[in-house]
Amino acid sequence: MISGSVKKRRVRSPLTSARNAALLLLPTLLLIAIYKYGPIGQAVVASGQSFSVAGIPLGWVGLGNYERALADQVFLQSLGLTVAFAAIKIPVQLALGFSLAMFLFQSTKLNGFFRVIIITPAVTPIAIVGIIFLFLFDREVGLTNAVLTAFGTGRVGWLTEPHAAQFVVIFASIWRDAGFAMLFYLAGLTAIPQEVLEASRVDGANSWQRSTKILLPMLQRSTQLAAVSTTVAAFQYFAPIFVLTRGGPQNATNVAAYNIYQQAFVFYDQGFANAMAVVLLAVLVVVTAFELYLLRSRWEY
Amino acid sequence: MSSNSLTRRQVLTRGSLFGMAALAGPSFLAACTPGGSTSPTGAPTSLNGLWVPYDNLINASKASMKQWIGANVPVDIATVPWADWDRTIRAFPQQQTVPSIAIVDGPQLRGYAANGILKSLSDYFPKADLDDFLPGTVPPAQWKGEFYGPATNESSQAVVYNKDILDKHGITPPSSLDKAWTWPQFREIMLDIQKKERASRGDDQFWGMFLGQGNFIGGGTYTGLNIIRSSGKKGSKTFKAISDDGLSVAGYADTSEAYDAYQFLQDLYQSDQLTPQSKSPDFFYNNQIAFWLTNPDVAFSGIAEKAPSMNWGVTPHPYFVTPIVQTDSYHLGVPANAAHADEAAQLIQSMVSEENALILAETQKAIPVRRSLLGKLDYLKEANFQVFVDTVADWGTPRPLTPGYSEYDAVYAPMLSDISTGGDIATLVPRAVDQIDTQLARYKSLV
C-alpha cells in the first residue's frame, strides 16, 4: 500500500506547456527574426531614406526612392530580363528535372553513379560554376570555340555578344540547378503507390500515358515545390553573372539582382538600391503566390 | 537526483541564456576586435594596417617600415580582397574599429577625402615634400587644399614587345619619346606583322597587341582612356576627359575627336582583329602577341615569372594628337576615425622619407614616388625601364580628377569594353555620359 506520506509530485510547469515551449523556441525564433526578417525590415526602412555616397543617412525621402525605381529604365529593363530569365529557366528546368528523375527511377546498377554526376553541379560553389563557364566560353581560348573551330565554324563571342551571353548565363543556371528539380521529382516518384502504376499497366497504359496521365498529376506537389524553388533561384541569380559578364555586354545580362548590387555597392546609392530590392521582393512574392495557386495539389493519395 | 543534475527550470533558464549569448556573441566579438592595441597609458603597443593582397607591395611596405618599427611599435598588416577594397574603405566611418593605416587607390583618394573618410596629412607633408613627389601622384591626393596621403610609388604605361618576333619582320621600334609612333603608324605595323605571322603559323591565334592588364576588354579606364584623351589637343576637353570640378563628362567624353578614337578602338578589336577579345594577357607570354600595352609592374614581374627567357623590349605609348599616359598608384592613408592617427601619420611620413622611399621602390622594382630618387636607382637606367621613366616625366597625367572616380570608372570601363566588343558607339557613349553625370551629381554638395 502506498503510504499517504509519499507526496505526489506536482508538475507545475510541464515541458509541453505553452510557456516552456515558447521559452525553448525563443532562441531560434530570435535568430530567425534577427537574421532573416531583420534585414528585410532594415531594407524597407532604408528604402525610405537617402544616403550619402559614404553610406551616411541624409534623411527621409518617403516613397521617393520607389518613384525613382519605377521610373528608372535600367531597373525596369533588369526586372524584365529577370522575368524573362525565370520564364525560360522554370519550364526547361522542370522538364529536365522530371526527365532525369524518370531516368533514375528505373533501378539500374549505374543509378548511384548517375545521381552523383547529376547532383554534383548543384553542390558546386556557384562562383566556381562561373569560373568553369568562363574557361568554357572564352572567345579565344574557350573549349567551346575550340570544338566549333575544329569543325570549321567561326568563333562565337559567347561572353561578348549580348544574345550569346544571355544564352550562356541561362545555360549555366539550368545546368547547375537541374539536379535540385530532379531530387524533388525523385522523392515524389518514390512516394507514389506501386499499385497505381501496376493497375495502369494492367489497363494497358503505355509509358507516355503513364507519365502524362498518372505520374505528372500525382507529382503536382513536387512540381509546385520545384517551381517555387526554381523561381526564387532565378530571381536571386547573381554570382555567375558577377564572375562571367558583370551585367554586360551592353546590359544584356543585367538582371535585377546584379543591378541592385551595382546600385548598392558600386554606386553606393543605398536608399535607391533598397527600394529596388523591396520591389523585386514584392514581384517575387506575387509570382510565387500565383505559382502556388496554379500548381496547388488536386490529388490525395 | 544527483547534485550535479540540473532541474528542468535550470535547463530552461540556462538554455535560454545560452541562446541569448549565442545571438549576442558575434556582436560582442566584433566589438572586441582591436584596431591596433593600446597600453594603459593610451600609447599604442602596435598599429594595424590594411593592405591589398599584392605581395610585391606588401613586402616593399614591410621593408620601408622597418626603421620606424625599430624605434616605435610593431605594425600588423592584414589584407582585404581586391573586390572588397573600395567598399571596405567606404565603410570606415560606420565602423567602431578601423585600421590605423590603409592602402588606397590613388584616383579614389579625392572621393575618400570629400566624404571625410580619410584624415588630412597636410601637417606631415610640407611643400618641400609635395614638390619632390612625382607630379602625377599629388593632384589626386589633394582635396580643397589639403593633402591626404603620398603614393608608395609611381606607375607608367608603355608598349612592351616581343623582340624575336619583331626582329623576324625587320621592325625596330623607337625607344625615345620624340620618335614615338602615332596610332595610325602603329596600326599599320601591327597589321603587317599579324598577317605574316598568321600565314606562317597557319592559324588565327596570333594578334598584333594586347591592351591593358587583363581586367577589361578595351583596356579599362587606366589604359583605354589614354587612346581617347590623346586624340585631343593638350588642354582640350577631349584631353581633359572631365570638367574642372570633376562633376561632368558631358562635352568631354563625347567630343567628335573622342568619337573618332572610340571608333579606332572598336576597329582594333573588330574589323582589324588586332587584339584578342579575351582578358588573358598570357597570350604575350606564349608568343601569340607582338605588342603589349601595359605598366612596368605587370611587365617586369609577369615576364620574369611566366616567360623568363623572353627577349623583350619597350617602346613609348602611341598617340593621335597629344602623347599622354595616365599614371598614379597605391597611396598610404589614415582613416579619419583611426585610433593612433598621429602615430600612423608619422609611420607614413617615415615610409616615404628619401631613405625609405628608396627601399619602397627598390624592393618592388618600381618607379619611386620622389623625383630626387630617379637618378639613384640603377635599374631605372636599364633600357626597358628608361622608357617607362621618361614617359612618367614627360607625358604622365593623372586619371580624371573627380571625387566620384569609383562611379566614373564603374561606368566608363564597361563602356569601353562594350565598344571594343562591337556595341553601337552612338548608343553607348551618350548613355554612359548620362549615367556618369547622374552619379557625379551626387557629389555636388561636397564640392
- Residues comprising chain B, all counted: 447
pLDDT at A1: 45
Cβ of B410 within 8 Å of Cβ of A15? The answer is: no
pTM of the model: 0.87
Q: Indicate which of A29, A238, A250 best probes the interface with B, i.e. most B CBs within 10 Å of its own CB.
A: A250
* Highest-pLDDT range among A5-14, A95-104, B429-438: B429-438
Query: B331: part of which helix (H) or strand (E)?
Result: strand B330-333
Q: Which pLDDT score, from 0 to 100, does residue B196 have?
A: 97
Contact partners, residue A90, CB within 8 Å, separation at least 6? A227, A230, A231, A234
pLDDT of amino acid B2: 40
Examine the pLDDT at B130 and tell me if it is beyond 80.
yes
Cβ atoms B185, B318 nearer than 8 A: yes
Per-range mean pLDDT, top range of A110-124, A286-300, B156-170, B203-217:
B156-170
Which long-range contacts (C-beta less than 8 Å, at least 24 apart) are formed by A220-225?
A220/A295, A220/A296, A220/A297, A220/A298, A220/A299, A221/A188, A221/A297, A222/A184, A222/A185, A222/A187, A222/A188, A223/A94, A223/A185, A223/A295, A224/A291, A224/A292, A224/A295, A224/A296, A224/A297, A225/A184
Contact at CB, B90 and A248, closer than 8 angstroms:
no
pLDDT of residue B4: 46
Nine cell digits for residue B434: 548620362
Work out the pLDDT band at B36, boundaries 50, 70, 90. Answer: low
Tell me which residue of A257, A256, A270 sits closest to A75, measured CA to CA.
A256
**Does residue B404 surpass a pLDDT of 50?**
yes
* For A250, nearest residue in chain B (alpha carbons): B418
Q: Place B1 in a pLDDT band, splitting at 50, 70 and 90.
A: very low
Q: How far apart are the C-alpha atoms of A134 and A144, rounded to whole Å?
A: 11
CB A245 within 8 A of CB A171: no
Pick the range with the lowest mean pLDDT from A70-84, B133-147, B274-288, B317-331: B274-288
The answer to whether A26 faces chain B, any CB pair under 8 Å, is yes
DSSP A7: P
Flag if A140 and B94 touch (Cβ within 8 Å). no
* Average confidence score pLDDT of chain A: 89
Please give the pLDDT value at position A8.
62
Asked if B407's CB is within 8 angstroms of A160's CB, the reply is no
Q: For residue B35, what pLDDT is reported?
A: 54
The pLDDT, as a whole number, for residue B22 is 46
The pLDDT value given to residue B279: 84
Contacts of B423 in chain A (CB under 8 A): 249-250
Residues of A in contact with B280 (CB under 8 A): 138, 140-141
Closest residue, chain B, to A247 (C-alpha): B414
B6, pLDDT greater than 80: no
Residue B96 pLDDT greater than 80, yes or no: yes
Strands B101-105 and B47-51: parallel
Average pLDDT on B247-262 reads: 98
Say how far apart CA A192 and CA B358 lie, in whole Å. Answer: 77
Assess contact for B141 and B148: CB atoms under 8 A. Answer: yes
Asked if B428 and A27 come within 8 Å (Cβ–Cβ), the reply is no
pLDDT tops 50 at residue A274 = yes
Distance CA A280, CA A236 (A): 9
What is chain A's Cα-based Rg? Answer: 26
pLDDT tens track for B332-356: 999 999 999 999 999 999 999 999 9
Q: In this model, does residue A272 exceed pLDDT 80?
A: yes
| Secondary structure element (H or E) that encloses residue B162, with its range | strand B158-162
**A269 at interface of B, judged by CB pairs closer than 8 A:** yes
The model's confidence at residue B10, banded by pLDDT at 50, 70 and 90, is: low
Torsion-angle region of B155 (φ positive above 0: left; ψ -120 to 50: alpha; else: beta):
beta
> By mean pLDDT, which of A226-230, B187-191, B262-266 is the weakest?
A226-230
Q: What is the pLDDT of residue B224?
A: 97
What's residue B16's pLDDT?
47
Is A141 part of the contact surface with chain B (CB cutoff 8 Å)?
yes
pLDDT of residue B326: 96
Residue B421 C-alpha cell reads as: 566588343
Cβ-based contacts of A24 with chain B (< 8 Å): 12, 15-16
Whole-angstrom distance, CA of residue B300 vs CA of residue B82: 21
pLDDT-based confidence at residue A210 (cuts at 50, 70, 90): confident
> Cell for B443?
557629389
Distance between B222 CA and the closest CA of chain A, angstroms = 18
**Cβ contact B351:B360 at 8 Å:** yes
Secondary structure (3-state) at B366 = coil
- pLDDT band at residue A240 under the 50/70/90 scheme: confident
Give the per-residue pLDDT at A301.
60
Q: What is the pLDDT of residue B3?
A: 41
pLDDT at B239: 98
When pLDDT is cut at 50, 70 and 90, the band that residue B214 belongs to is confident
What's chain B's average pLDDT?
91
Of B15, B280, B418, the CB nearest to A249: B418
Average pLDDT rounded to a whole number, residues A15-28? 86
- What percent of chain A clears pLDDT 70, i.e. is strictly above it? 93
Q: How many CB pairs under 8 A join A and B?
A: 93
**pLDDT of A29:** 94
Residues of A in contact with B417 (CB under 8 A): 248-249
The per-residue pLDDT for range A81-115, each reduced to its tens digit, is 999 999 999 999 999 999 999 888 876 778 888 88
Tell me, what's the pLDDT at A111? 82
Give the least confident one: B10-14, B37-41, B194-198. B10-14
Q: Are B274 and B194 in contact (CB under 8 A)?
A: yes
Residue B111, phi then psi, degrees to nearest 5: -65, -45
Four-residue CA torsion sign, B1, B3, B6, B8: positive
What average pLDDT score do residues B413-429 get?
Answer: 97
Residue B410: pLDDT above 90? yes
Q: Is B22 in contact with A28 (Cβ distance < 8 A)? A: no
Least confident of A141-150, A275-284, B18-27: B18-27
Burial of A77 by CB count in 10 Å (0-12 exposed, 13-18 middle, 19+ buried)?
A: middle
Question: Which of the four pLDDT bands, split at 50, 70 and 90, describes residue B33?
Answer: very low
Give strand pairing partners of B159.
B293, B315
Contacts of A15 in chain B (CB under 8 A): 8
The answer to whether A266 touches A246, Cβ cutoff 8 Å, is no
Q: Given pLDDT bands bounded at 50, 70 and 90, which one contains residue B259?
A: very high
SS3 of chain A: helix, strand, coil, percent, to 5: 70, 0, 25
Among candidates B236, B261, B262, which has minimal Cα distance to B251? B236
Distance (Å, whole) CA B44 – CA A289: 58
pLDDT higher than 70, residue A10: no
